[in-house]
Amino acid sequence: MPKHIFFDLDSTLTPSRAEILPEHKPLFELLCKKMDVIVVSGGMMEQFRNQLPIEQKGSYYVLSQQGNHALHKDGSLLWRESLTKEQEIAARKVGKILIDAFQKINPTPIPDSNDLFENRGSLFAISVVGFHAPNEIKYKADPDQSIRRKLLTDHPDEVQELRDVGLQIMPAGTTTFDTILAGKHKGFNITRFIEHFDWKKEDCLYVGDALFPGGNDESVIGVIPTRPVKDHNETFAYIEEVLR
């Protein structure tokens, strides 16, 4: 049984960009009382508060923006990285190219054209349909991330342009590309976090819905033991097992 459990957020603890289900909330709170819980996501702190309306202080650790903004469960800051203006400009430019290319391959409604980019501080996120688009649109757009992975393969010059300013890009969530500081992905930051607390890797477990080649959880493979899940319902079936 693990002592420290790391969870992805979207489609692992909650539906995409949505609040934790009412029946799952007490199970999550109970788990936080029994062991160390660390939630890892590309989202900002505000997103954690919206999707997990549970008092964070004293309950769980937060690794937001792929772990580049980290909070202790007592609420204190562990570390925080930040992008430069040059990096934001490059990410926005490449993002526009990728969104246009996605729409040519798979024309999908974009409810709000002003909802396609988010500078989260240490991560620049790009959504091909909009972060707040209805989930029925988001889940149909690119459910297995295959279109977004192909777009990165088909745009090597743009990927290199990001590398030249110290960034890397990967598919994330349901319709997003995460642009992060090169090498500072979930795997890097989970390693950093474990070393900070001097935990043993074999006492840890990562639960995520994107532990497949090209997924934004892939970087955790080989860092600590992992458990792939299909969605939030499968996650909480496992949590029920842990709590028995």
Considering the domain delimited by 4-81+184-243, tell me its CATH architecture: 3-Layer(aba) Sandwich (3.40)
Name the strand (E) or helix (H) holding 26: helix 25-34
For residue 164, the model assigns a pLDDT of 98
Look at strands 4-8 and 204-208 and give their pairing.
parallel
For 170-224, write each residue's pLDDT tens digit. Answer: 999 899 999 999 999 999 999 999 999 999 999 999 999 999 988 889 999 999 9
For residue 216, the model assigns a pLDDT of 85
The letter for the amino acid at 3 is K
Which of 163, 194, 44 is CA-nearest to residue 94? 163
Q: Which fold has domain 85-181?
A: 3.30.1240
What does the domain layout of the chain look like in residue ranges?
A: 4-81+184-243, 85-181
For residue 46, the model assigns a pLDDT of 87
Q: Which two tokens stand for residue 50?
A: 């919206």
First to last CA, the chain: 12
For residue 16, the model assigns a pLDDT of 86
Look at strands 167-172 and 77-80 and give their pairing.
unpaired
Each residue's pLDDT expressed in tens, for the chain with a length of 244 residues: 899 999 999 999 999 889 999 999 999 999 999 999 999 998 888 889 999 999 899 999 999 999 999 999 999 999 999 999 999 999 999 999 999 999 999 999 999 999 999 999 999 999 999 999 999 999 999 999 999 999 999 999 999 999 999 999 999 989 999 999 999 999 999 999 999 999 999 999 999 999 998 888 999 999 999 999 999 999 999 999 999 9
For residue 31, the model assigns a pLDDT of 98
Q: 226-235: list long-range contacts, CB under 8 Å, 24+ apart.
A: 229/12, 231/11, 231/12, 231/15, 232/11, 232/12, 232/13, 232/14, 232/15, 232/20, 232/21, 232/24, 235/7, 235/12, 235/13, 235/207
For residue 222, the model assigns a pLDDT of 97
